[in-house]
Amino acid sequence: MILPVLKYGHPILRQKGARIDEITAEMRHLISDMKETMHAAKGIGLAAQQVGKALQLAVVDVRAVTDRPSTLHLSGQPAEVADFMPVILINPQVTPVAEPVAGPEGCLSFPEIYAEISRPESVEVTATNEKGKKFTFRCGGLLARAIQHEVDHLNGILFIDRMSTEIRQELKPELDELQTSTKEALKKKIKTCNPL
Ligand code: ZN
- The whole-number pLDDT of residue 147 equals 98
- The pLDDT of residue 190 is above 80: no
Determine the Cα–Cα distance for residues 40 and 195; give it in Å rounded to an integer. Answer: 34
Q: What distance in angstroms lies between residue 108's CA and the mean position of ligand 1's atoms? A: 5
Rounded CA gap, 181 and 124, in Å? Answer: 38
The mean pLDDT of the chain is 96
3-state secondary structure of 101: strand
pTM for the full model?
A: 0.95
Q: Phi/psi at 19 (nearest 5 deg)?
A: -65, 145
Residue 150 is among the residues annotated as catalytic for this protein: yes
pLDDT at 194 over 90: no
- Give me the CATH code for the 11-193 domain, please: 3.90.45.10
In the chain, % of residues over pLDDT 90: 95
For residues 10 and 67, what is the distance between their CA atoms, to the nearest angstrom? 32
Q: State the Cα–Cα distance between residues 38 and 60, nearest whole angstrom.
A: 8
Out of 150, 170, 174, 184, the active site residue is 150
What is the enclosing helix (H) or strand (E) of 180?
Answer: helix 165-191
Q: What is the reported pLDDT for 189?
A: 81
Cα 158 to ligand 1 centroid, rounded to whole Å? 7
Structural domain spans, the chain: 11-193
Between these two residues, 69 and 191, which has the higher pLDDT value? 69
Ligand 1 centroid – CA 105 distance (Å): 9
Sequence-distant (6+) residues with CB within 8 A of 35 are 59, 61, 86, 88
Q: Indicate if the pLDDT at residue 193 is higher than 70.
A: no
Cβ(126)–Cβ(136) below 8 Å: yes
Q: What is the DSSP letter of 52?
A: T
* Residues 49-96: tens digit of each pLDDT: 999 999 999 999 999 999 999 999 999 999 999 999 999 999 999 999
